[in-house]
């Protein structure tokens, strides 16, 4: 994108000098001798930097005009990067202007290196502000869907009623929330509902799957980076913390953080500022932190694999999402809801579930919780050849295999069943499977080959 600057000063010789000086720094240099008629140009060009003098009336040296026109420009374009040109005696006033939104100031007569360095910093800042604005606008469209709460908490059980009550109480605060529960119980849905009911509902809701983050990209993804910070960093990037500014940041699977990552996250939570990778500039952040985990973090603290200070920072309030087997009275409602939803989606609205099949679905233990139920019904709807769905239409896992194996005295059968159960509970996460089985990953892979899993 071509770099554009607008220079506003009533000194024609100064304008001519700046044109020559800055022609290598900017692709487009526009000038004006007074701020009166620049607002249409500002709207059309979206300048990276506006260089503004502080005095325009003959004999005027107070600098108050600079404050006046600064306010006008910022009202016209809140993201405008305005750098003031000031005489030595106006420095205190220029500092006041920075409190009102000016990016920086340069003294007359300027030092060429300082002037160009300040302008370059202004360009970088403008680009990051524009990028952040676009990201937030994009996220607002997502928040429209979020506020509709399509998959709101379906159920009438005591457990789900208690959960709704808790969410309503904590939503109006800015307290850090830790959401605990098994995979598939709806922890993300709880986080979205907290945001939807909060005072930050018009701000962004930003989700980060910690388990999917590469160790080497952790800081860049969360805190952003500047151009050239590392090989492949071809432009400035806004991190998730900045993106979530004014809204909520949801860190899913927080228990997967390494100790090194935990230290970095703790510092940001404590100081409420981030530093982009490759930059020493502190950037204040204003977020509501919501975390989720399927692990017992208190046990992880005891085992020294999760920092106690971080645990208490993210755990002002803990919310436990009940597994579906603990609220079986809601299964029928969920089945009816998802059947109607997917039958409509796939234009097969005459479908219904056999009564005996419904009874069996309500008795099934659903190890994958609501996520498993949702997928089972969607798959049944897609593959259905008959208007009535029978129990075999849902292709449920034989989750009783572990129970049967434990009733036998065959060690290999028991071992195979235990490993199968762990693999089903933590799909794709071999490190976690090995951890819960108290074996190495090498041993785990050997067992998988042995039993053909």
Same domain, 237 and 330: no
**The two three-digit tokens of residue 2, written as one number:** 């071509």
Same domain, 316 and 188: yes
| 143 inside domain | no
| pLDDT over 70 percentage in the chain | 89
Q: Which of 105-119, 122-136, 333-347 has the lowest mean pLDDT?
A: 122-136
Q: What pLDDT is stored for residue 136 in this prediction?
A: 61
User: Per-residue pLDDT averaged across 174-194, rounded?
Assistant: 93
Question: Is the model's pLDDT at 100 over the cut of 80?
Answer: yes
User: Per-residue pLDDT averaged across 44-58, rounded?
Assistant: 84
Q: What is the pLDDT of residues 358-374, one digit of tens each?
A: 988 988 889 889 999 99
Instruction: Please state, in angstroms and rounded to a whole number, the distance separating the CA atoms of residues 377 and 368.
Output: 13
Q: What pLDDT is stored for residue 144 in this prediction?
A: 41
User: Per-residue pLDDT averaged across 11-16, rounded?
Assistant: 89
| 155 inside domain | yes
- Where residue 384 sits, what CATH number does that domain have? 1.10.8.60
Instruction: Please state, in angstroms and rounded to a whole number, the distance separating the CA atoms of residues 380 and 391.
Output: 10
User: With contact defined as beta carbons under 8 Å apart, do 30 and 44 qualify?
Assistant: no
378, 394, 410 - which closes a domain: 394
Same domain, 162 and 300: yes
Q: At what angle do helices 187-196 and 112-148 cross, to 10 degrees?
A: 110
Question: Is the model's pLDDT at 142 over the cut of 60?
Answer: no
Question: How far from the centroid of its chain's Cα atoms is residue 40's Cα?
Answer: 36
Same domain, 175 and 301: yes
- Where residue 119 sits, what CATH number does that domain have? 3.40.50.2300
Same domain, 276 and 386: no
User: Per-residue pLDDT averaged across 147-156, rounded?
Assistant: 61
Q: What pLDDT is stored for residue 177 in this prediction?
A: 97
Q: What is the pLDDT of residues 205-214, one digit of tens each?
A: 999 998 888 8
Closest Cα to residue 252, out of 311, 320, 191, 341? 191
Number of domains in the chain: 4
Q: What pLDDT is stored for residue 423 in this prediction?
A: 82
Same domain, 213 and 235: yes
User: In terms of residue numbers, what domain contains 347?
Assistant: 324-394
Question: How far from the centroid of its chain's Cα atoms is residue 208's Cα?
Answer: 5
Q: What pLDDT is stored for residue 405 in this prediction?
A: 46
All residues at 6 or more sequence positions from 180 whose CB lies less than 8 Å from its CB, including other chains:
187, 292, 293, 294, 297, 318, 319, 320, 321
DSSP summary character for residue 35: G
| 140 inside domain | no
Closest Cα to residue 69, out of 86, 52, 89? 52
User: Per-residue pLDDT averaged across 73-93, rounded?
Assistant: 81
Q: What pLDDT is stored for residue 415 in this prediction?
A: 83
Instruction: Please state, in angstroms and rounded to a whole number, the distance separating the CA atoms of residues 188 and 179.
Output: 9
Q: What is the pLDDT of residues 291-322, one digit of tens each?
A: 999 998 999 999 999 999 999 999 999 999 99
Closest Cα to residue 181, out of 320, 308, 305? 320
Q: What is the mean pLDDT of the chain?
A: 85
Instruction: Please state, in angstroms and rounded to a whole number, the distance separating the CA atoms of residues 163 and 70.
Output: 50
Same domain, 270 and 304: yes
Same domain, 355 and 334: yes
| 19 inside domain | yes
Other C-beta atoms lying within 10 Å of the C-beta of residue 179: 26
- Where residue 191 sits, what CATH number does that domain have? 3.40.50.300
Range among 61-65, 88-92, 296-300, 426-430 with highest mean pLDDT value: 296-300
DSSP state letters, 299-363 = HHHHTTSS-HHHHHHH-SEEEEPPPGGG-GGGHHHHHHHHHHHHHHHTT-TT-EE-HHHHHHHHH
What kind and span of H or E run contains 97?
helix 91-99
| 137 inside domain | no
Closest Cα to residue 322, out of 104, 78, 159? 159
Same domain, 226 and 288: yes
Better-scored residue on pLDDT, 299 or 427: 299
What kind and span of H or E run contains 22?
helix 12-22
Range among 12-16, 33-37, 146-150, 246-250 with highest mean pLDDT value: 246-250
pTM value > 0.75: no
Question: Is the model's pLDDT at 167 over the cut of 90?
Answer: yes
Instruction: Please state, in angstroms and rounded to a whole number, the distance separating the CA atoms of residues 379 and 59.
Output: 80
**The two three-digit tokens of residue 96, written as one number:** 């006041």
Q: Is 347 exposed, middle or buried (0-12, 13-18, 19+ CB in 10 A)?
A: exposed
320, 342, 374 - which closes a domain: 320
Check the CA dihedral 257-263-264-266 and report its sign: positive
CA-based angle 271:274:275, to the nearest 5? 125
Q: Which of 86-95, 108-117, 436-445 has the lowest mean pLDDT?
A: 86-95
320, 341, 364 - which closes a domain: 320
DSSP state letters, 358-400 = HHHHHHS--TTHHHHHHHHHHHHHHH--SSEE-GGGG----TT
How far are the Cα atoms of 16, 17, 35, 352, 415 from residue 13, in angstroms, in the given order?
A: 5, 6, 18, 83, 86
Q: What pLDDT is stored for residue 59 in this prediction?
A: 58
All residues at 6 or more sequence positions from 406 whose CB lies less than 8 Å from its CB, including other chains:
414, 417
Question: Is the model's pLDDT at 404 over the cut of 60?
Answer: no
Instruction: Please state, in angstroms and rounded to a whole number, the distance separating the CA atoms of residues 73 and 68.
Output: 9
Same domain, 257 and 373: no
Question: Is the model's pLDDT at 401 over the cut of 60?
Answer: no
| pLDDT over 90 percentage in the chain | 44
Cis peptide preceding 145, ω within 30 of 0: no
Q: What pLDDT is stored for residue 149 in this prediction?
A: 45
| 377 inside domain | yes
| 35 inside domain | yes
| 135 inside domain | no
Question: Is the model's pLDDT at 148 over the cut of 60?
Answer: no
Question: Is the model's pLDDT at 145 over the cut of 50?
Answer: no
Instruction: Please state, in angstroms and rounded to a whole number, the distance separating the CA atoms of residues 419 and 396.
Output: 19
Q: What is the pLDDT of residues 232-249, one digit of tens each?
A: 777 888 899 998 999 999
* Residue 90 pLDDT grade (very low, low, confident, very high; cuts 50, 70, 90): low
Same domain, 155 and 285: yes
- Where residue 424 sits, what CATH number does that domain have? 1.10.10
Same domain, 229 and 316: yes
Instruction: Please state, in angstroms and rounded to a whole number, the distance separating the CA atoms of residues 173 and 180.
Output: 19
């Amino acid at each position: 994108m071509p770099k554009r600057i607008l220079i506003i000063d009533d000194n024609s010789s100064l304008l001519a000098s700046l044109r020559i000086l800055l022609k290598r720094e900017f692709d487009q240099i526009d000038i004006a001798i007074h701020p009166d008629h620049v607002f249409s140009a500002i709207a059309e060009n979206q300048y990276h930097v506006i260089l503004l003098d502080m005095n325009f009336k003959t004999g005027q040296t107070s600098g108050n005009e600079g404050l006046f026109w600064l306010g006008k420009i910022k009202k016209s374009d809140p993201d405008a990067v305005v750098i003031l040109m000031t005489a030595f005696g106006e420095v205190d006033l220029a500092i006041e202007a920075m409190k009102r939104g000016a990016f920086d100031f340069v003294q007359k007569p300027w030092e060429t290196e300082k002037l160009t360095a300040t302008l370059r910093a202004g360009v970088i800042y403008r680009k990051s502000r524009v990028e952040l604005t676009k990201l937030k606008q994009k996220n607002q469209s997502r928040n429209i869907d979020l506020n509709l709460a399509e998959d709101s908490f379906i159920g009438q059980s005591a457990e789900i009623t208690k959960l709704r009550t808790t969410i309503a109480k904590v939503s109006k605060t800015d307290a850090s929330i830790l959401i605990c529960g098994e995979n598939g119980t709806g922890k993300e849905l709880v986080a979205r509902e907290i945001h939807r009911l909060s005072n930050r509902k018009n701000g962004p809701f930003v989700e980060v799957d910690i388990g999917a983050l590469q160790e080497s990209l952790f800081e860049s993804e969360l805190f952003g980076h500047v151009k050239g910070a590392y090989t492949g960093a071809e432009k400035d990037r806004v991190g998730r913390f900045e993106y979530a500014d004014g809204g909520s940041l949801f860190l899913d699977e927080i228990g997967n953080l390494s100790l090194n990552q935990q230290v970095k996250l703790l510092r940001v939570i404590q100081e409420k500022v981030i530093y982009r990778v490759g930059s020493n500039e502190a950037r204040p952040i204003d977020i509501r932190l919501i975390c989720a985990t399927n692990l017992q973090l208190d046990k992880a603290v005891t085992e020294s694999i999760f920092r106690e200070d971080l645990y208490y920072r993210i755990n002002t309030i803990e919310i436990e999402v009940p597994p579906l087997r603990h609220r079986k009275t809601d299964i029928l409602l969920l089945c009816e809801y998802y059947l109607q939803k997917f039958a409509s989606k796939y234009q097969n609205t005459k479908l219904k579930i056999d009564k005996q099949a419904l009874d069996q679905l309500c008795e099934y233990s659903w190890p994958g919780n609501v996520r498993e139920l949702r997928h089972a019904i969607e798959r049944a709807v897609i593959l259905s050849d008959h208007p009535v769905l029978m129990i075999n239409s849902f292709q449920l896992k034989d989750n009783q295999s572990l129970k049967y194996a434990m009733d036998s005295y065959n060690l290999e059968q028991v071992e195979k069943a235990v490993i199968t159960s762990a693999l089903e509970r933590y799909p794709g996460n071999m490190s976690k499977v090995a951890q819960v089985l108290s074996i190495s990953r090498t041993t785990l892979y050997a067992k998988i080959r042995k039993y053909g899993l």
